[in-house]
Amino acid sequence: MQRTLTIIKPDGVKKNLIGEVISRFERQGLRIAALKKIKLSKDGAKGFYIVHRERPFYESLTDFMSEGPVVVMVIEGENAISKVRDIMGATNPADAAPGTIRRDFAENVERNIVHGSDKPESAAFEIPYFFSQIEIL
């Protein structure tokens, strides 16, 4: 059993895709262990994406992530990290496989609808960034 942190980004929330995205995860046997809708501040977005602080897209990414509400979730299941990533598709929608969330809905490499932890070490940082132990059920 594995846990991953998933975010429906401001573009996904704006496009009314919360239910659609959650359904795709649930249909593949994954379980929502925690969920909330919040609005990140610029600093909150910068802290979450701190690993990308040297990247040229860091400022733009953190502006985007703080432009409107997001839905943050802990998703649980066998191989949850890779399963969620398969369902999301490649970071750049142009490279994403047909039937994936990003291929179906994303505008570009930045405004790509969803985030999912890329490895267990990332999940171990990202889950407690948003949720305390008692909120994960």
Q: Where along the sequence are the contacts to ligand CMP (CB under 6 A)? A: 52, 57, 61, 91, 109-110, 112, 115
Q: Which one, 56 or 133, has the nearer CB to ligand CMP? A: 56
What's the burial of 2, exposed, middle or buried (CB within 10 Å: 0-12/13-18/19+)?
middle
Please report how close the Cβ of residue 49 comes to ligand CMP at its closest, in angstroms: 6
Residue 52 annotated in active site: no
Q: Which one of the listed residues 96, 115, 116, 117 is annotated catalytic?
A: 115
For residue 13, the minimal CB distance to ligand CMP (Å) is 14
User: Of 66 and 133, which has the nearer Cβ to ligand CMP?
Assistant: 66
Name the residue with tokens 């059993």: 1
Closest CB to ligand CMP among 30 and 111? Answer: 111
Tell me which DSSP letter residue 97 carries: P
Alpha-carbon distances, residue 32 vs 49, 88, 91, 127 (angstroms): 22, 16, 22, 13
Structure tokens that stand for 60 in this block = 């733009």
Residues noted as catalytic: 115
